[in-house]
Amino acid sequence: MRRALVLLRRRAISSIPVLLIVIVGTFLLLEAAPGDAVDAYLLSIGGGDAALVASLRASYGLDQSTLARLWLYLTALAHFDLGWSVTFGRPIVDLILERLPNTLWLMGSALALSFSLGSILGVVAGARPGSATDRVLSIGSLALYAVPSFWLGLVLSVVFSVQLRWFPIAGIESIASGKHGLDRALDIARHLVLPVSALGFIYLALFLRMMRSGMAEAWRQDYALAARAKGLRRPRIVIRHIARNAMLPLVTMLGLQAASMLGGSVVIESVFAIPGFGRLAQEAVAGRDAPLLIGIIVTSAVLVIIVNLLVDITYALLDPRVGAAEAAA
């Protein structure tokens, strides 16, 4: 445990400069955008005179220099203040905190689905590399991996929502259903089945292929030969010796895919009209709301860092070699 904590502290400290690069970089990128939130607002209200424009810019601090505003932004950020969204007329932190849980549910469930089902199918495929089952699963997963997730979402909704009417077509829960507690949880779960499948099935293929190739590699190792020479039964070899050793890289993969899945949920949320983090990003783009977009990107970077820290700890707990050097130092 001490090993994991030492590792955690080191990783957390080293991610601070990286996060700073993300913040400054995003700020400067969006600074380069032609037009600001005031322009977008004027467009929506049908224009205004120069005095109004100037007073609006002054009230949002848009009349100051880039560097001055970057400094303001960083100091506000240190107080967990991401600024004000002109599009929504609300603090950005509130907006993000309101939308984030939906996306976390979507992402978490999709990751759990793809990781568990993917590694189980990977064990099935890797139990006998080169067998017919292995070939079918390998080619099938390759085909699955080639499917665009948003398109899979559309096809699933045509089949299961429009034709079969098994699942609701959009949203995160029934509107004004008055449901509480378990009923509400079940309602949300029903709404999440299709989007989670659309997002999760793509990554399932990734975990399956990784597990399979790791196991194929493990079969060639001496300990696999030793286990067979000892006369162990095949299921025991597969589970205890082969699969277990092929499992570790999958944990790393889980962390690496967090960022990609967060990006993927933007499109899935648009397909299924889920009021989540990704939809917020789209709304920020549509409203030219630069502060909101910066806030979203910074939050997602923090999320990815947290997921990777969790993965690092898990990894250190699973593999005694990891972090041993740091703990000794």
In the complex, the residues that contact other proteins under the rule CB under 8 A are 15, 17-19, 21-22, 25-26, 29-30, 32-34, 142-143, 145-151, 154-155, 157-158, 162, 259-260, 262-264, 266-267, 270, 281-282, 285, 288, 293, 296-297, 300-301, 304-305, 308
Which one, 5 or 159, has the nearer CB to other proteins? 159
Contacting residues for 198 by C-beta, under 8 A, at least 6 apart: 149, 150, 152, 153, 156, 268, 271, 272
Which one, 127 or 258, has the nearer CB to other proteins? 258
Residue 227, both tokens: 């286990």
Which one, 109 or 300, has the nearer CB to other proteins? 300
Which one, 232 or 285, has the nearer CB to other proteins? 285
Which one, 95 or 237, has the nearer CB to other proteins? 95
> Minimum distance between the CB of residue 155 and other proteins, rounded to whole angstroms?
7
> Minimum distance between the CB of residue 280 and other proteins, rounded to whole angstroms?
11
Which one, 48 or 263, has the nearer CB to other proteins? 263
Task: Decide if 263 contacts 149 (C-beta within 8 A).
Answer: no
> Minimum distance between the CB of residue 164 and other proteins, rounded to whole angstroms?
13
Contacting residues for 258 by C-beta, under 8 A, at least 6 apart: 107, 111, 303, 304, 307, 308
Residue 280's CB: how many other CB atoms inside 10 A?
29
Which one, 91 or 140, has the nearer CB to other proteins? 140
> Minimum distance between the CB of residue 300 and other proteins, rounded to whole angstroms?
5
> Minimum distance between the CB of residue 231 and other proteins, rounded to whole angstroms?
30
Residue 31, both tokens: 């600074």
Which one, 246 or 303, has the nearer CB to other proteins? 303
> Minimum distance between the CB of residue 157 and other proteins, rounded to whole angstroms?
8
> Minimum distance between the CB of residue 61 and other proteins, rounded to whole angstroms?
20
> Minimum distance between the CB of residue 63 and other proteins, rounded to whole angstroms?
20
Which one, 202 or 227, has the nearer CB to other proteins? 202
Distances (CA, A) of 46 to 13, 42, 207: 48, 6, 52
Between CA 30 and CA 89 the distance in angstroms is: 20
Contacting residues for 69 by C-beta, under 8 A, at least 6 apart: 61, 62
> Minimum distance between the CB of residue 236 and other proteins, rounded to whole angstroms?
29
